[in-house]
Structure 1
Amino acid sequence: MRITLVGSRHFGVTALDMLRQRGVDVVRVVVADADDRLAGAARAAGIDVVVQGNPKLVAASEIADDTDLIVTAHSHARVSREALAAAKLGGIGYHPSLLPRHRGLAAVEWTIREKDPIAGGTVYHLADRMDAGAIAVQDWCFVKKGETARELWERALAPLGLRLLGEMIDYANTYHALPGKPQDEQFATNAPRITD
């Protein structure tokens, strides 16, 4: 399986490592910043790196030829419809909430702010609307009393995301397709960046 990975930072690097350990061919890494640690890890591994022309949008020209699947890991860019069409299976991403709850850039922070006793993660199909594509797989975890967003991310949500992405890569390798069920819009909430 040929994968184009779109992402950034530590989670992007750990996703790259997980994908390589699974034996898939990460043919390109797409980043918003040439100095991002994911770009450095990809270059060190001999993987082609492309810097997005627009940091908020991944264009079709930035997806490697003959990509089977686009995977996003800590990316805040929308993957264009044309880019998704360039990959045989489209694209999937990890979001650290039980979608459709807490759609947006600050999902973990809103989980803490709303005092949710349960958090979770979702691997979903990338779509025109951010965090709104069909759900491929979800799982949940408890939130500890007094836990910060960063603590919750590091303790539970980042490892959960790697596991769920790995499960979907294995599924796609076996079935050459991905599961998906529509999100239930009646439960949708937004998680915009917190500025206070």
Structure 2
Amino acid sequence: MRITLVGSRHFGVTTFNTLRQHGVDIVLVVVHDGEDRLAAAARAAGIEVVVQADPKRVVASEIAPNTDLIVTAHSHARVTREALAAAKLGGIGYHPSLLPRHRGIAAVEWTIKEGDPITGGTVYHLADRMDAGAIAAQEWVFVRKGETARELWERALAPLGQKLLADVIFHARTHHNLPATPQEEEFATQAPSLSDGKD
């Protein structure tokens, strides 16, 4: 199972480490910033790093040859249709909400803002529309009263993401396919950035 990992920051590094500890073959790491901590972790492990030519897009030439699956972990870049076609099983990403609720860059913040008592995490198929691909795995968690977005992410949603990504990758490795349940569009809500339009 050859994985191209696209990501950044702490969640990218923990995903990288978790998958490698479980014997997953990460053949290439793609980052938007060559100084990112994920890039440093990959180089330290002797794994090739590619820096995106465009920080908002991942293109086919940035995917390793013979990739089975593209995995995104804290990446806000759109993986193009051609890039997904370069991987046998396409690509998956983790979103910290119960998709289709709170699609967008600030899902955890909107969970707190809306006062949701329950949230969760979703591993979904990367697709043309952001956060709109079929669901591969999903689990829910309670939101504690008074919890901040950061506290919720660190306590529950980041660890859940590691677990769900690993579960889906192990399924793919065993069965050579990905679970896929279409999202229910009638329940979709948006979670745009809360910082005055700046990412």
Letter in 2 for 1:193: S
- DSSP 3-state at the match of 2:109: helix
Structure-2 residue corresponding to 1:85: 85
Q: TM-score, normalised by structure 1?
A: 0.99
What's the CA shift string for 1:46-90, capped at 9, x where partnerless?
000000001110000000000000000000001000000000000
Give distance in 1, aligned partners of 2:166 and 2:108.
Answer: 21
- 1:23-172 mapped onto 2 (5 Å cutoff): 23-172=23-172
Cα-to-partner distance string for 1:16-59 (whole Å, 9 max, x where unaligned): 01110111110000000011000000000000000000111000
- Residues of 2 paired with 1:135 and 1:50: CA distance? 28
- How many Å apart are 1:187 and its aligned residue? 0.4
SS across alignment from 2:64: coil
Q: Deviation per CA, 1:96-148, whole angstroms, max 9, x where unpaired? A: 00000000000000000000000100000000011000000100100000000
Paired letter, 1:104: G
The alignment covers a number of residue pairs equal to 196
Q: How does 1:177-188 map to 2 (within 5 A)?
A: 177-188=177-188
**Counterpart residue identity of residue 33, structure 2:** D
Percent of pairs identical after alignment?
A: 77
Q: RMSD over aligned Cα, in angstroms?
A: 0.6
Q: Which amino acid aligns with 2:76?
A: H
Q: Secondary structure at the match of 1:139?
A: strand
Report the counterpart of residue 8 of structure 1 in structure 2: 8
Q: Where in structure 1 do 4 or more consecutive aligned residues deviate above 6 Å?
A: none
TM-score (normalised: structure 2)? 0.98
For structure 1, list consecutive stretches of 5 or more residues without a partner in the other structure: none
CA distance in 2, matches of 1:115, 1:151: 15
Letter aligned with residue 183 of structure 1 = Q
Find the aligned partners of 2:42 and 2:27 in 1 and give their Cα distance: 10
Distance 1:19 1:155 in 2: 20
What is the identity, as a one-letter code, of the residue corresponding to 1:102? H
Partner residue in 2 for 1:17:
17
Give distance in 1, aligned partners of 2:109 and 2:146.
13
In the aligned structure 2, how far is the partner of 1:169 from the partner of 1:81? 20
Report how far residue 195 of structure 1 moved: 1.8
Unaligned runs of 5+ in 2: none
